[in-house]
Structure 1
């Protein structure tokens, strides 16, 4: 059984009605890096970046990241 991390950043951004450009500027990363985070195409995220995202979106890390287990087919 493997565990996959699902990034729900896009959902939270939609709920908060904030655009990627604005969020990236607010937390101090590039739009491209934010896009990579949203798509889940990163191997990891710094706790500092996660904390800034949570502060900007007024949420908890669990609102942005979800663990989903998948069993081998």
Structure 2
């Protein structure tokens, strides 16, 4: 996957649990877990905005572009 979700990194930096973040952004624990574990196919801007507000960060702190061929040699 080319877009990596580093939600767990920001949560650790802010010392916030998944349960606490789920309550603050009004998402189910299951949906937030899917996002945190890089299994989400999409994320709504409203969700991203709520997460950034709760974690006091920027979208780039959570989302990272990693080319699919990173680390592979031709």
Shared fold (TM-score greater than 0.5)? yes
| Alpha-carbon distance in structure 2 between the residues aligned to 1:13 and 1:27 | 13
- The match for 1:48 is 46
Point out 4+ residue stretches in structure 1 off by more than 6 angstroms: none
How many pairs does the alignment contain? 71
Which ranges in structure 2 are unaligned for 5 or more consecutive residues? none
TM-score (norm 2): 0.90
1:69 maps onto 2:67 in alignment: yes
- The match for 1:9 is 7
| Alpha-carbon distance in structure 2 between the residues aligned to 1:58 and 1:46 | 18
SS of the counterpart of 1:70?
coil
Q: Superposition RMSD on alpha carbons, in Å?
A: 1.4
- The match for 1:57 is 55
